[in-house]
Amino acid sequence: MNGARVLVSVSGGKDSTATLLVAQEQSVERNPWAVFCDTGNEHEMTYEYVRYLEHATGVHVHWLKQDFTNWWWRRAAYILEKWPGKGVPDDVVHRVLSFMRQGPTGNPYLDLCIIKGRFPSRTAQFCTQYLKTMPATEYALDIIEAFGSLESWQGVRADESPNRANLAEREDVGGGLIIVRPIHKWTAEMVFDQHRRHGIEPNPLYRLGMGRVGCMPCINARKEEISSIASRFPEHIDRIEEWEGIVSRTSKRSNSTFFPSPGDNENARERGNIRQIVKWSKTFHGGKEVDPSRMEEPPACSSSYGLCE
């Protein structure tokens, strides 16, 4: 497998960037490639950062973006044929189909949520599967078909979660594909040290209060991150509010929120829409009393990783 192509999955985040830099160090003779999966829910700074990374490292980054057109029309046909027989009211069927007949929006994240009739959640994180894993896997299989083998390098660290801690640093999955996780035992500090050694700036979002980058916001965003996003990037909150309206209009339940709102679906958006979540993000622990510090203008630099020091 020494002659296998090396493909690094790049997200614009700290871990995948460090992995790309390790690949350059260890695989110079094999000229590593990189791939970026555009979910359609990224921050503009992440797009800019991926372009910067390609220029700064000299590694070509191939951009992938899912197209759900075929699935979209299959879903529309299913709704027309099956929903009336399942007891779905005619006005709901008409409302959903009237939107879907306009065709896909072209935004992968939004189109996927419309097709699913809901937003992803921590227990049903289908966004990762359909928007990142599947396109990257298909691309990897194309490379294997052309070159016979491939090492897929992934920026996964053990201290991120118990599930990731159980992953192997190197895994032969068969069919010519080997998964390599070179920074599996690294700490976040080691990751940023790798950036410094190579003179590579981290994604600027890390200096603006983000614990993770990529989706803006991510369904796994912490309370502090949501507050920071609302203060620094209100246009992204506006976009999510618009998406909640669209996905609600195209869902059987007629109510859909970006962050899960447990209980009766009929008033889900009233109780748990993105504006309500932002209000909650500005409170102390317990969610009842407003935290004055979160109502103020955020500092020019705010990093949970000590990047402002």
- Domain limits for position 96: 69-103
The reply to whether 95 falls in a domain is: yes
**Whether the Cβ atoms of residue 275 and residue 293 lie closer than 8 Å to each other:** no
| pLDDT averaged over every residue in the chain | 93
The reply to whether 73 falls in a domain is: yes
Helix or strand run (H / E) with residue 61:
strand 61-64
Mean pLDDT, rounded, for 216-227: 93
The reply to whether 16 falls in a domain is: no
**Whether the Cβ atoms of residue 296 and residue 241 lie closer than 8 Å to each other:** no
For the stretch 12-40, pLDDT in tens is 999 999 999 999 998 766 689 999 999 99
The reply to whether 198 falls in a domain is: no
The reply to whether 46 falls in a domain is: no
Is the pLDDT assigned to residue 52 strictly greater than 70?
A: yes
For the stretch 230-242, pLDDT in tens is 999 999 999 999 9
Question: Residue 78 CB: number of other CB atoms within 10 A?
Answer: 11
Total tally of structural domains belonging to the chain: 1
The reply to whether 78 falls in a domain is: yes
> How many residues does this entry show for the chain?
309
The reply to whether 75 falls in a domain is: yes
pLDDT at 214: 82
pLDDT band at 263 (very low <50, low <70, confident <90, very high): low
Question: Residue 119 CB: number of other CB atoms within 10 A?
Answer: 23
Helix or strand run (H / E) with residue 156:
none
Please report the DSSP string for 232-243 in residue order: H-HHHHHHHHHH
Angle between helices 223-232 and 234-249 (to 10 degrees): 110
Residues 6+ apart with CB under 8 A from 257: 119, 244, 268, 269, 272, 273, 274
For the stretch 159-215, pLDDT in tens is 999 999 999 999 999 999 999 999 999 999 999 999 999 999 999 999 999 998 889
The reply to whether 277 falls in a domain is: no
For the stretch 90-118, pLDDT in tens is 999 999 999 999 999 999 999 999 999 99
